[in-house]
Amino acid sequence: MNNYETVFILTPVLSEDQAKEAVVKYEDQIKALGGKINHSETWGLKKLAYQIQKKSTGFYFLVEYAGEGNIVAELELAFKRDERVMRFLTVKMDKHHKTWADKRVERNIKGKTIVGATV
Amino acid sequence: MAQNDIRYLTPINIEIKKEKYCRFKKSGIKFVDYKDADFLLKLINEQGKILPRRITGTSAKFQKKVNKAIKRARHIAVLPYVADGLK
């Protein structure tokens, strides 16, 4: 069992509901593969530091989950196949990262929209 | 008055070297977050280049982590790869 953290960017072409629907789909995929979602949040429509696919904004989502490495492979394959996903990054969390992330969640629990109610 | 007593009209400037320190060691930060653009902005120059250790004073251990964090931040478009007038 490892802890992973995935950030992904969806195209701004989608509506908020469509974006949320996509996130729920990926969260379900993680759960179906035997992963446990620890935390999930959205940063909303954010300006990109540079253009990606001629777009200058994107919906940012962050998912923290625990599970085996095959989840990452499956998830990234799904991201690559999905045209709605502009960019993604998965990071394996070491112990310092994990404690930082837990603290961060506690700090930001207010003011930020939590997508899934999975804690 | 002694012969070898040298006196100056204006006091000469003796450079006092300011001791550099590693900000991560000093404040006990164990993890460099790639999602925190405001913090990483302190460690890059206005063109978006990573500042060397000799300027920031970061220890080797944390410079490695900083480098990784900045590169990750660039990938997810939190920081730019190339910029002009970032600060």
Range of the domain at A10: 2-108
Q: Out of B33, B35, B81, whose CB is closest to A50?
A: B81
- Say which residue, A104 or A4, is predicted with more confidence: A4
Provide, as residue numbers in chain A, all residues whose Cβ is less than 8 Å from the Cβ of B75. Answer: 87, 89
Is B77 in contact with A91 (Cβ distance < 8 A)?
Answer: no
Q: Give the pLDDT score at A106.
A: 82
Which of A5-14, A81-90, B1-10, B23-32 is least confident?
B1-10
Residue of B nearest to A104 (CA): B33
| B77 contacts chain A (CB < 8 A) | yes
What is the pLDDT averaged over residues A58-63? 93
In this structure, how many other beta carbons lie within 10 angstroms of the beta carbon of residue A16?
Answer: 11
CATH H-level superfamily of B23-75? Ribosomal protein S18 (4.10.640.10)
Average pLDDT, chain B: 88
Q: Is the pLDDT of residue A72 over 90?
A: yes
Average pLDDT, chain A: 87
**Do the Cβ atoms of B69 and B63 come closer than 8 Å?**
no
- β-strand pairing of A85-92 with A36-52: unpaired
Q: Out of B31, B75, B83, whose CB is closest to A97?
A: B31
Of chain B, the percentage scoring pLDDT greater than 70 comes to: 97
Q: Give the pLDDT score at B43.
A: 92
CATH number at residue A29: 3.30.70.60
Sequence spans of domains, chain B: 23-75
As a whole number of angstroms, the distance between CA B75 and CA A59 comes to: 15
Whether ipTM exceeds 0.85: no
What is the pLDDT averaged over residues A83-98? 93
DSSP-assigned states of every residue in A92-115: E--HHHHHHHHHHHHHHTTTS--S
Q: Is the pLDDT of residue B87 over 90?
A: no
What is the pLDDT averaged over residues B60-68? 94
| B30 contacts chain A (CB < 8 A) | yes
Give the best residue of A50, A92, A108 to mutate against chain B (max B CB count within 10 A): A50
Residue A47 lies in a domain: yes
Banded model confidence at residue A110, pLDDT cuts 50, 70, 90 = low
Q: Is the pLDDT of residue B65 over 50?
A: yes
Domain count, chain A: 1
| B8 contacts chain A (CB < 8 A) | no
Residue A73 lies in a domain: yes
Is B35 in contact with A58 (Cβ distance < 8 A)?
Answer: no
pLDDT digits (tens, 9 = 90+) for B26-62: 998 899 999 988 899 999 999 999 999 999 999 999 9
